[in-house]
Every structure is written in structure tokens, then in C-alpha cells.
């Protein structure tokens, strides 16, 4: 059953695993400096009240998430559970279609429609429907929600990443 569902959703690669951290500098000291993962992007996401960093490893990434606003879901998560695993993210070709399919199967959605994320259109599935794990879906570059959410071409996002990385390197 799961294999059939994964195929019908077009569930693709594991995009990233997200970890909640108290201080981004401390987390980067571990993941970048000690373990040697390169930093692809460090970006404040004001709408979510967080600072994020993506560190690629193989075909996937580690996302570090630091709450910077005290009244957000991530801040409450950190306060109640401490640092560590927050969510897992899978890539899908058509996020709206995947959400519709999952909702029709009784999955509780946190986001009923795609919304803007740091690396493309995203939506979350509620942990009550996913055995206690917060699941994020991200639409593959160039999918239908990219245009509707105003991303433009996926290459424009890569340019933004490169610009931000150059700014960060200039600060060192």
C-alpha cells in the first residue's frame, strides 16, 4: 500500500532532514567546522520567525532551524522538546496534486495548499497522521506551484543562494 501511495504521489528523493537548534553559530561549529559539511545557504525566514541553514550531504541536505521569534511553533517545539530532529522533507513533482491525494486518503494537512519556502513551494503534513513525524513536502524545481507562487525559474533561486553564500564568505 505505501509503495503504491509513494508512486502515485511521485514521492522523490529525500530533500532534507531538519534539526532545531538553539544557536545557529553553535550548530554550524558542529556541522560545518567539525563534520565538514559545506554551507549552501543561511537565510532568515521572517514569515516563520526562524533562521535556517542548508548543508548539502550527498543528494540530500541537513537543514538547521533556529527560532528567532519566541511565539512561533518552532520556538515552542524547542522549549518543550529541546534541540534535535524536527521534520523530514520529501520532493514531489506536483505539490497541489500530492496534497489533494493525501487529503482524500484522510491525511491531516498542516498546509492545505503550497506556500513559499526557502527552496521552493512547500507544505506540511500533521504528525497526527504520520506516526508522530512532521513531514514536509517540497515541489521539485519547475513544478506548477513555482510559477503560481512567483518563484520564477529555479535558476533564479540558485543565483540567490550563490549571492547569499558570497555575502557570508565576505563576512569571515
pLDDT range class, residue 152, cuts 50, 70, 90 = confident
Whole-number Å distance between alpha carbons of 79 and 81: 6
127 contacts 120 by C-beta, under 8 angstroms: no
Tell me what the pLDDT averaged over the chain comes to. Answer: 88
Sign, CA torsion 159/99/111/63: negative
- Domain regions of the chain by residue span: 2-171
- Higher pLDDT among residues 8 and 18, named by residue: 18
pLDDT at 136: 97
H helices then E strands: how many in the chain? 6, 8
pLDDT range class, residue 11, cuts 50, 70, 90 = confident
CATH says 2-171 is which class?
alpha beta
CA 51 remoteness from chain centre = 12
78 contacts 67 by C-beta, under 8 angstroms: yes
pLDDT per position as a tens digit, 29-88: 999 999 999 999 999 999 899 999 999 999 999 999 999 999 999 999 999 999 999 999
Nearest C-alpha neighbor of 129 from the set 99, 93, 92: 99
- 138-145 average pLDDT score: 94
Mark 124-141 as b/e (b = at least 16 C-beta within 10 Å): bbeeebbeeebbbbbbbe
Whole-number Å distance between alpha carbons of 42 and 111: 24
**pLDDT for 133 beyond 60:** yes
pLDDT at 20: 98
Q: What is the residue whose three cell numbers read 500500500?
A: 1
Collapsing DSSP to helix, strand or coil, 95 comes out as helix
Amino acid at each position: 500500500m505505501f509503495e503504491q501511495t509513494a508512486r502515485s504521489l511521485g514521492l522523490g528523493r529525500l530533500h532534507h532532514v531538519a534539526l532545531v537548534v538553539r544557536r545557529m553559530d553553535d550548530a554550524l561549529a558542529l556541522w560545518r567546522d567539525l563534520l565538514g559539511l559545506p554551507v549552501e545557504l543561511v537565510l532568515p525566514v521572517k514569515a516563520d520567525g526562524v533562521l535556517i541553514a542548508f548543508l548539502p550531504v550527498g543528494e540530500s541536505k541537513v537543514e538547521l532551524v533556529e527560532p528567532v521569534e519566541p511565539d512561533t511553533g518552532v520556538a515552542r517545539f524547542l522549549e518543550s522538546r529541546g534541540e534535535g530532529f524536527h521534520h523530514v522533507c520529501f520532493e514531489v513533482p506536483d505539490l497541489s496534486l500530492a496534497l489533494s491525494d493525501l487529503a482524500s486518503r484522510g491525511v491531516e494537512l498542516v498546509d492545505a495548499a503550497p506556500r513559499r519556502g526557502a527552496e521552493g513551494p512547500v507544505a506540511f503534513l500533521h504528525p497526527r497522521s504520520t506516526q508522530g513525524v512532521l513531514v514536509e513536502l517540497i515541489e521539485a524545481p519547475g513544478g506548477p506551484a513555482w510559477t503560481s507562487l512567483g518563484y520564477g525559474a529555479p535558476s533564479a533561486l540558485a543565483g540567490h543562494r550563490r549571492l547569499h553564500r558570497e555575502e557570508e564568505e565576505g563576512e569571515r
